[in-house]
Structure 1
Amino acid sequence: MAATSFHVRSNSLPTRPHPLVSEVEENINRLRSSQSASSSSSSVSHGLRGLQDLQDCVEKLLVLPLNQQALVQDQKFLNQMLDGSLRLLDFCNTTKDALSLMKESVLELQSVLRRRVQGGLHLNDVKQYISTRKAANKAVQKALKNLKGVESSSNESPEIVAVLRDVEAITRDVFESLAPFISSQRRSSGWSLVSKLMHQRKVANEQEAEKKTNEFTLVDASLEAILGSNTTKYEKVQNDLKDLEMCIEYLEEGTECLYRRMIKTRVSLLNIFN
């Protein structure tokens, strides 16, 4: 009698990721897509909001017992995450402080313009603004360099480890795009604006210089124009300063909210470590 063969169907199903993991992955994919888009105040603000949502998801993942157990078993990775979170927090806080400093300088320029409707801006007014920009830029760039060491690795393969590595990487990417946005400058004049004006050098090729600008570089261009020309352009300067003030407020609010969420995540990691 011929042997009868039977096909035995396995009852095991592919392991499905936790719904929160899927949510994290969706948020990361959205952020990666936005990173490839052109840099503007709206896209940068969108990135900060996306990181806030991402941190909320991570916070929920970290309270799950299985995830806590997996992290406890990989102390080296947990230490790396704690170090990385501290550097990311430092960058976020430094950026927040730099934005606050720049907003004060913008408000001061607006106040000066209102007081001197006829007299306009003086060279010293612009020098003070440029000095503030330099100080803010220096602080942000220093914090940005400190991010270069943020990259956690692990030989383990728990789901939570892979998720946290991806979250850390996309947070660093968003921050690295935020830094040049707020510290951008006009290459034709930029920080050398004051010295050029003092030597009475005329600005050349202004149209080309104003390409690829944002709210920060537009104010630089307007200030250069108002001091380097006999033509009164106070209204444009006032409008550009108002736009920059609103831009800074959006970014300031975004970094403040993100900072608070990142603090919560770090506290959760510290609780697991202890």
Structure 2
Amino acid sequence: MAVIETNTKSSLHLRSNSLPSSPHPLVSQFEDNLKILNNSEGTTSLSSSSVCNKLNGMQDLNDCIGKLLQLPTEQQALSRECNERSVNDLLEGSLRILDICSIAKDFLSLSKENMYELQSVIRRKRGIETGFTVEGVKYMAFRKNMKKQIRKALVNLKTMKNESIDSSSNKDNNSSPMFGLLKEAEAVTLYSLEHLLLFISDPKGHSKHSRWSIISKLMHSKRAVSDSQESDTNEFEKVDSALLSLISHNKTSSADNFQSHMENLEICIQDLEIGVEHISRKLIRNRVSLLNIFNH
């Protein structure tokens, strides 16, 4: 499983030294927003609050970028100083980020759909009927498959991050100060989206779980619940652990506990979906601005 790197600050501070000594206030605002996101990379926390904070930070950063791209001086500088390679680099980078956002939205939507199906069954079966056990195993199979897909997405995302950093440090590409700012934003956004995907999948990176069958997980549910209580679990983890306990113990009290975790997960997913959707819209808006700048 991919892990979040903690040494990103130095790799992201690649802005050209050619910026004026007294930059536009929006540049200072951009740097403040970037610093907040950079500082958050040092934490290994994968709580819903940390992920939401990153999403909010990305929104603020892209709002600032949108305002910078509306400045005539910046538009002229980008159009004049960026060569064809730089232009393609920026446009490809924005497209890659939008693809990752789309992947994250798909995973969140699928999680919500499967969660609703499970909630519907538990309301009817109260966790003591065979029907719920079947649906519970189906949900765990879905989670296992989704984690596998996210691992693949994280491998691709890591490649994107490396390419973004290499492009930022390439003197042939980095002909414009604004280009440097946009590449910094691209890199930190990719790190933040990695954080989101890890949160949705397996925050602890327990790759050994992939070797377990669904039945093996049910047999080890007591241990799974105990392990989850010993660490800071997120909403996805809590539902997984509570579901294992519910299926193996078949207790109504466990059903009540599971239902509570499911309600919390529903709220969490809704918040994340809203955050990713807002970021996607801002990214699209900024991409359109870049296309307009380079086409004129």
- The number of aligned residues is 260
Letter in 1 for 2:64: C
Q: Could you tell me which amino acid in structure 1 is paired with residue 274 of structure 2?
A: E
- Structure 2, unpaired ranges of 5+: 1-19
Q: Residue 99 and residue 201 in structure 1: after superposition, are their counterparts in 2 closer, same or farther (change >3 A)?
A: closer
Tell me, yes or no, if structure 1 residue 259 matches structure 2 residue 268.
Answer: no
Further displaced range: 171-180 or 122-131: 122-131
Which amino acid is 2:49 matched to?
A: S
- What are the superposed Cα offsets for residues 73-112 of structure 1, whole Å, 9 maximum, x if unpaired? 2222221111111111000011011101101111111111
**TM-score, normalised with respect to structure 2:** 0.79
- Which position in structure 2 is the counterpart of 1:182? 200
Are 2:121 and 1:115 equivalent residues in the alignment? no
Q: In the alignment, residue 48 of structure 1 is paired with which amino acid?
A: L
How many percent of aligned residue pairs carry the same amino acid?
Answer: 41
Greater Cα shift, 15-24 or 225-234: 225-234
Measured against aligned partners, the alpha-carbon deviations of 1:32-67 in whole angstroms (never above 9, x if no partner) come to 223334221011011111111111110111122332
Choose which of 79, 83, 106 in structure 2 pairs with 1:97.
106
Query: What is the RMSD computed on CA atoms of the aligned residues?
Result: 2.4
Structure 1: give runs of 5+ residues left out of the alignment: 1-13
CA contact (8 A) 1:101 1:136 kept: no
- TM-fit CA distance, 1:230: 4.9
Larger mean Cα displacement after TM superposition, 71-80 or 143-152: 143-152
Equivalent residues in 2 for 1:80-229 (5 A)? 80-117=89-126, 119-120=128-129, 122-147=132-157, 148-149=159-160, 150-151=163-164, 152-153=167-168, 154-155=170-171, 156=174, 158-184=176-202, 187=206, 192=212, 194-196=214-216, 200=219, 203-204=222-223, 206-210=225-229, 211-229=231-249
Q: Which moved more, 1:159-168 or 1:205-214?
A: 205-214
**Aligned 8 A contact 2:242 2:257 in 1:** yes
Q: Is the 8 A contact 1:99 1:252 kept in 2?
A: yes
Larger radius of gyration: 1
Mark the CA change 1:128 to 1:43 in structure 2 (over 3 Å): closer, same or farther. same
More helix by share: 2
TM-score (structure 1 length as normaliser) = 0.85
Q: CA deviation at 1:228?
A: 1.8
Q: In the aligned structure 2, how far is the partner of 1:60 from the partner of 1:128?
A: 47
Q: 1:65 aligns with which of 72, 76, 82?
A: 72
